[in-house]
Amino acid sequence: MDLSSLFDTPKPVIGVIHLLPLPTSPRWGSSLKEVIDRAEQEATALAAGGVHGILVENFFDAPFTKNRVDPAVVSSMSLVVHRVKQMVGIPVGINVLRNDGHSALAIASCVGAKFIRVNVLMGVMATDQGLIEGDAYKLLRYRRELGTDVKIFADVLVKHAQPISVPQISAAVHDTIHRGLADAVILSGWSTGNPPKTEDLQEAKIACGDTPLLVGSGATWDNVPQLMEYADGVIVSSSLKRNGQIQQAIDPIRVSRFVDAVRLDIANKKNKHIAEEQIRRSPPISIG
């Protein structure tokens, strides 16, 4: 998969909208209008700040179920994502936490979203929801039944979880791509707001080959140049919130600062490559 065909750039920044609590969640505030208003404000802030894509997820519905979410959640997210898509002209994706890829795929297919995030596509992970088993078999067949081309971005050794077995990252990446048929791979740190280790990114990038690798947590405007040495894009949330606090709303100034850092890094690396190429092509200087 070529990320440029989806995001119009080879190195996309995907900003995350954390929806306020939805119906049936413990902190549901009984106002879907409030949920929609906040999502619209954050979508506008993200798009105005220059992100290349938006991921919508039911982050504040914690604690999460490890299986299918309630139909009210599906209905609410469908409505919210539809409204977000009407407001922005960039690709929108969906993550139904903790691991409801089927509902995410159904919503995306109905409202025209371009991609979904699946926390556990392959293998078995021990999580705070208990044991979560990946089910690429059913998810990929469901996508075929729906007749959709929604892309599947799959986490490898997802955050807030431990594998039952301890596979090498390269083996997990290989299985996720070649046996799970993921369109892109996501690598995160151990929890929300923590970046993956550099050596893990290196190993994952080699294993990915031509399949895109995205950083799924912990990116900041300070560390994104180092992360982008190996990653093909970033999914970012905490760094874009007011004061960097996860409970706060998206801050458009922080969005612009983050996107500018990515653009500057890309430009610097391009100029460095051009300079190195010019040196390589220059004829040798003869002495005497």
The residue among 59, 158, 52, 147 whose CA lies nearest residue 105 is 147
User: Domain for residue 286, yes or no?
Assistant: no
Per-residue model confidence (pLDDT) at position 264:
94
Average pLDDT over residues 130-145: 96
Residue at 197 is within a domain: yes
Task: Determine the 3-state secondary structure of 239 from DSSP.
Answer: helix
What is the pTM (predicted TM-score) of this model? Answer: 0.92
Structural domain includes residue 263: yes
Would you say residue 8 has pLDDT above 80? yes
CATH number where 128 lies: 3.20.20.70
Please name the amino acid found at residue 79: L
Q: Tell me: the pLDDT tens digits for 209-261?
A: 999 999 999 999 999 999 999 999 999 999 999 999 999 999 999 999 999 99
Q: What is the mean pLDDT of the chain?
A: 93
Ordered strands of the 124-127 beta sheet: 130-133, 124-127, 161-163
The DSSP code for 20 is P
- pLDDT tens by residue, 21-64: 999 999 999 999 999 999 999 999 999 999 999 999 999 999 99
Q: What is the pLDDT of residue 209?
A: 96
Over the stretch 179-196, which tens digit does the pLDDT of each residue have? 999 999 999 988 777 899
Spell 38-47 as b/e; 16+ CB within 10 A means b: bbbebbebbb
Residue 261 lies in a domain: yes
pLDDT at 138: 98
Examine residue 182 and state whether it is found in any structural domain, yes or no: yes
Do the domain assignments include residue 3? no
The range of the structural domain enclosing residue 166 comes to: 9-281
Residue 11 has pLDDT above 70, yes or no: yes
Spatial distance between the Cα atoms of 246 and 278, rounded to a whole number of angstroms: 45
Question: Would you say residue 286 has pLDDT above 60?
Answer: no
- Domains in the chain, number: 1
- What pLDDT is recorded for position 276? 66
**Residue 166 pLDDT > 70:** no
Is 195 inside a domain boundary? yes
